[in-house]
Amino acid sequence: MEHRLAGFSGTLALLAAFCSGQTPRSTSHYVEIELPPSVISGNFFVRYVLTGQDFGGWVQPRSGVSSYGIGTTIEGRPATGIKAILYAPGCAIQTLDLPLSGLDNPQYFFICQPVRNIEIQGVLARSDRLHGRDRLYGHEVKLKAKYLARWAQPFLQLGDSIFTTIPVGDAAHLSADGRFRLTIPDLSQDPLAGAPDHPGELHIWAEDEISEALVAQLTPADPQSIRTRLGGLKVQNAYPSEIVFAPCAVSSAEAHDRMGFAIRPDASDPCDH
């Protein structure tokens, strides 16, 4: 789905004049995205690809700024176009598909289309992997939800192996008995994430509290009806009062016990998929 330039909520509107944004302009060619006062700049998400790029990049979040600038030069030459996915907590996901030829450093205004919040209440199936409150596989962890947007790959024209995940909701912590509560946006009501032709799913990750390295993915074990093939949650407007999750150690961020030995799921692990 492509969002054209228009003057209504849920789109990116072209501004006729530049404002005094706070994003440094270290390049002569750029697109500037202006944020409304209601959007906290440190939580703003942008994934973009310039025409001619194979991978693209992300905008590094910064606190206390009123706008973000994206350089649009490739190998010394101005890019002819940009595609981007933009998200701010409390707002609907937006897309930008803009030809740049003939435009002189355009500036855009991010208009927030509000989306309500819902809750996920969970409990870990393997309490033996807990080591006290907020400790999983020996790590002090926090839990975060991420929306895996499958539709982003064809939109950004990326390869099948390049996924776009958007952090959504606030971080949560485990209780002593392995329970948690996450507040997330109701993506089923998001014009993009909730559209039938825009497949996606929610993944819940345990991150190291200090380093933010991935420790484990929390995979739904019961009920199975809400689980996706990759161990995520289907996008729904409500979830069961309590979901049982199995913690699956992340092989790329090997978990270790207190003696330094690597901990891996055994053959009968309920999170195998």
Give tens-digit pLDDT for 140-191: 899 999 999 999 999 999 988 889 999 999 999 999 888 999 999 999 999 9
CATH code for the domain of 65? 2.60.40
Predicted confidence band of residue 265 (pLDDT cuts 50, 70, 90): very low
Q: Is the pTM of this model over 0.75?
A: yes
Measured CA to CA, the distance from residue 179 to residue 133 in angstroms comes to 10
The residue among 84, 110, 136 that closes a domain is 110
Measured CA to CA, the distance from residue 122 to residue 119 in angstroms comes to 10
Domain count, the chain: 2
47 and 179 inside one domain? no
The owner of tokens 């789109």 is 11
Task: Identify the domain containing residue 20 by its residue range.
Answer: 12-110
Predicted confidence band of residue 257 (pLDDT cuts 50, 70, 90): very low
- Enumerate the β-bridge partners of residue 110: 12
- When comparing pLDDT for 233 and 52, which is higher? 233
Predicted confidence band of residue 102 (pLDDT cuts 50, 70, 90): confident
60 and 132 inside one domain? no
Domain for residue 121, yes or no? yes
235 and 151 inside one domain? yes
- When comparing pLDDT for 203 and 253, which is higher? 203
Cis peptide before 223 (omega within 30 of 0): yes
pLDDT of residue 110: 96
CB 137 within 8 A of CB 215: yes
141 and 164 inside one domain? yes
23 and 96 inside one domain? yes
pLDDT of residue 59: 93
pLDDT tens-digit series, residues 3-45: 333 322 233 333 322 333 334 445 588 999 999 999 999 999 9
CB 164 within 8 A of CB 150: no
95 and 162 inside one domain? no
Domain for residue 1, yes or no? no
